[in-house]
Structures are given as C-alpha cells and as structure tokens.
Amino acid sequence: MDSRKNGSEAPREIWDMNLERAKDILKKVSDVPMLEALILASFVFDEPKEKILIHGLPKDEKLIRRFFELVHKRSKGYPLQYILKKVEFMGYEFYIEEGVFIPRSVTEELVEIAIDLVRNLGLSLVADIGTGSGAIAISVAKMTGVKVLATDVSEKAVKVARINISKMKVQDLVTVEKGEFLEPFLDRLDEIDLVVSNPPYVRRSDEVSNEVLYEPEEAIFSGRTGLEFYEEFFKRYDLSNK
C-alpha cells in the first residue's frame, strides 16, 4: 500500500520542501546554508538538528511561518547569534543579545595568550576593557582562577556580562562596571598585572559587511584611523612600570 494515499507522508514531504527552500534563501548570506537552516529549525521547533535531518517534522503551519520569518531575517544579514541569543566561545556558551558585540572565534587566540601569561607569571589581577558579553574576562577567570576587572561603556553590555558572570558562576572572580577604559577601577590601577582587550579598530571610512552593521558601532569603529582607542588609552595611563 502506498502510504502517500492516506496522507501519512505528507508532513515529511512538505517539511523537506520547506527546508530546501530555506537553504536556498540563506545561500546569499551563509557558506553553510543547510546547516543554518537546520539550526534555525532546531531553535523554532525545539528539536535536535539530527532528528530534523533524519526524520523531518510534523506539519505545523504556525511554527513553519515563524521559521521562515527568522530565515528571512537572517537572509538580510541579521546575525544568527542574535536570533539564538547565544554564542560559543572557548568551549563555553554565552548569552548574547542585540546591542552587544558578538565575540569572534579569532579572539580565542588572545584569551589563550592571556591564560599562558597568567599561569607562567603568576599574575593575580587582570583587567578587560570593552568586555561586551564578558566572554574574554569570564574565559580567562574560569580557566585560571585569576580575578578580572571588566569595563564597558555600554549599559546593555554590562547587563549581559553580568548575566554571563552569573551563568558561569564566576561572581567571586569577575567584576564588571560601566565606564571608559579603566576609569571605574582607578583606585586599583597599581594592582592590575595585565590588561586584555578586543577594542574597536575599524576606520570609519572602511566598508563592512551587512552583518557587522547590526552590531554596536562603538564596538566596531575607532575614528578616522582605526587607532583612536589605543591613542586615548595611552594618553590616559602610564603603564611603563608594568
């Protein structure tokens, strides 16, 4: 008996068609459109990607509409991390939301260098400027046990960083405050052994991808030359004795 005659295969066939359609839509923004389609489907339907790929999903018009809303949003360059409200960094899953800089995997190299310095030199206090989601500060603290003072000029970033500090259970190690550079911790400058940062470095005249334009511009651009952050930092602080 052909199971299609009684409609038992219809939901799977409809879903497969929708998944292919989503993949085609995402091709213009992603090198792995099927993977992103599966990630979004997993998010919307609350099912593992593997199950969706192997078994498909029963027809649910409301959820399928929601799925395509997110697919189209992503196709315009809206970051996948903002949709999912999470980002992977150094093997940890951090909470993220629009208005806060998304940590990049390339920055993990900076964290690894900081971890080596803390361990090899026996450092006891690290500062993280422009902490954003808190990914750098939290990763260094969790992997070494060192205390970290973190700052950001964005109130939203400070809020998100505190959420992640609580989520990662490093409240005793990481402190974050709103303010420029090291200003919130001026009374502790002499104690700081190491300053880490992934500051803005893009020139205002430089072209960036649509995806980057959804992120906070103060975390991306650094004046006419791209060096404004560094110039201002070294004007304010004398670290020659460090």
> What residues pair up with 107 in beta bridges, in sequence order?
none
Residue pair 154/180 in contact (Cβ under 8 Å)? The answer is no
DSSP-derived pairing of the beta strands 125-129 and 147-152: parallel
Measure the CA–CA gap between 37 and 59, rounded to whole angstroms. Answer: 17
Number of helical H runs and strand E runs in the chain: 10, 6
Give catalytic residues, as residue numbers.
101, 198-199
For residue 191, report the phi and psi dihedrals to the nearest 5 degrees. -85, -20
C-beta neighbour count of 6 within 10 angstroms: 9
Helix (H) / strand (E) containing 195? strand 194-197
What b-and-e string marks burial along 102-136, b requiring 16 or more CB atoms within 10 Å of the CB? bbeeebbebbeebbebbeeeebebbbbbbbbbbbb
